[in-house]
Chains A and B, each alone.
Chain A
Amino acid sequence: MLSEDTDLSNQQPIHVGVLFSETGVTAPIERTQLSGTLLAIDEVNAAGGIDGREVIPVCHDPHSDPMQYGTLAERLIVTNNVNVIFGCYMSSSRKAVLPVVEKWNRLLFYPTIYEGFEFSNNVIYTGAAPNQNSVQLADFMTLNFGSRVYLVGSNYIYPIESNRIMMDLVRQRNGEKVAERYLPLTAGHKEFESVVSDIRNRRPDFIFSTVVGESTQYLYRAYAEAGLNPKEMPIASLTTCEAEIRAMGAEYAAGHYTAAPYFQSVDSDTNRRVLDLYAKFMDGEVVTNMCWEAAYFQVHLFANAMRQSGTDQVEALLPHLLGAEFLAPQGRVRIDPATHHTCLYPRIGRANSKGQFTIVREAQRPVHPDPYLVTYSLGDWTTQIDTLDL
């Protein structure tokens, strides 16, 4: 989709790898990361590419299977000769790609929230670390609803570590854990019905969900069908975003809360401009989310860095990436040189009847990433807080 007056054909193109699942359990969210990536690449090319060189995405579909991510990353490097890969959603997929990019000394851009405690010289992390979403969510939920919490998550590392952090925070408000349940990624309606009936019997102050992927909709649906009221006992999540809401239907998500650095409803000129661009790119109505946004802005961070380095070799790129800033839809983000993570803007959104989030709390300044933080404290998000709209 190059604009006609831009001719990039007489320069050698730059091939970049793209690894998001278009099939399998996490496909709904990863498809949005894929289109965020392709949108940004299209935008870069329409503006003349990187110094006149067209960026060509080489996309493979790992089918939501961690092993496939490792295999396909290697194929991208060895067969497709790419130096830079944009990709991965679940931690298990990132862990599969990590040794590959380290072995070949390539660069992975990872646009997803995760549990922290990782650094690799070969990765740039553009999603939120726990100090950029968990702290704010725990603070908000305990202040507004109480501190008896029911934990439910998918059975992998992110939910387990997120729950540890949540309980550390909740205990600072003398809270207690009502239950801690993990379900397989493939769990269906029946499994969630049983969880929700347990929730109804035990009446926590709120439910903390780290359920990811397609099964997210079953939790919210089972909750609604059980007649529970989000005004009294809402679900709080770090992962339920606009994409999951679209899959389940807006009426099921309405009234529940999510913490994220970006919602489609962010009120900024940049967000409006990029949403317009995206609507044209997709040729229709669009729904975005935090992972889409990170996937989008990280391509621009790469393109800007490569304009300065002139090459996509990791050693040449890094000096121009570390400390780099970009005016993203969520606000001006910056890559922290020490951790390779990104300074982001924590927000709390309440899902509304349109399948969007009404932002009820918002950081005015970016929060620095601290991926190795063990002990969190509540109430220090070093930011001004918007008036609550409860």
Chain B
Amino acid sequence: MRGTSTRSTPELLKDLRSLRVAVFHPRDNDGEQLIRQLQRIGCQVQAFWPPSVELNEPFDVAFLAVNPETITLDLPWIKGEDAPIRVAVVNYENPTIVDGMLRLGASAVIATPIRSFGVLSTLILARQLAGDLRLQRKRVAKLESKLQSIRKITDAKSVLMNSRKISEEDAYAVIRDQAMVKRVTVEEIATAIVNANEILSMVGVNPKS
């Protein structure tokens, strides 16, 4: 849990003034209200309409109107790790629009008519959720690769234990020493051992075959 007991100002609030925000919304009253409120908050705002398929500079957050003109667009910049965090701006709640919002990968939504009140909270929450999600994804990827590496090392250890008749501890020591001598990771040595064992088994070096 994030502690609030010390009541120091959260980072997400502190960096609002350096936040680069793109607004993709028709130049109507709602678009104007949204842009002006983001400017009051102090964000660096740029407006785009009609929406650009390419973005020439990086943005932290993008507010996108989800309407018949935008849901058919293919926007490559919404994909990828460093894509701006998306906030959907909706004026209908029919399945077509909701589907469009989901396909944007929006972290938050604001409804029209735009009121100045609520934009700040939505912006902060979207950044927190997207940031958390990004962090979790990284952690999952790291854990997956770690798990794979452990599995490789276990396999390699069994190969050595069987072929050399040594203990698990000694098997690991062999792998680790090789890794140090060759200046590669333990996992790479383990992979090499497992691969070699598979090849040797295939070509029938086993005297029993």
Contacts and interface: CB of A to CB of B under 8 A. Distances in A.
Interface of A: 102, 117-121, 163-164, 167-168, 171, 180, 338-339, 370-375
B167 to A, nearest CB: 57
Interface size class on chain B is: 10 to 19
A119 B37 contact: yes
A372 B9 contact: no
B40 A374 contact: no
Given A167-B8, A374-B13, A375-B9, 14 more contacts: A118-B117, A121-B116, A167-B7, A168-B8, A168-B9, A171-B8, A371-B40, A372-B16, A372-B40, A372-B42, A374-B9, A374-B14, A374-B17, A375-B17
A118 B37 CA distance: 10
8 contacts: A117-B120, A163-B7, A171-B8, A338-B36, A370-B42, A372-B16, A372-B42, A375-B13
A223 B115 CA distance: 45
Contacts, number: 40
A338 B39 contact: yes
Contacts of A370: 42
Given A168-B9, A372-B120, A119 B16 contact: no
A164 B7 contact: yes
A339 B7 contact: no
B117 A120 contact: yes
Nearest to A373: B42
Given A120-B116, A120-B117, A374-B16, A338 B9 contact: no
Interface in B20-56: 36-37, 39-42
B9 A164 contact: yes
B119 to A, nearest CB: 10
B13 A339 contact: no
Nearest to B37: A119
Identify the interface centre among B7, B16, B39: most chain A CB within 10 Å of its CB: B7
A163 B42 CA distance: 22
Nearest to A120: B116
B43 to A, nearest CB: 10
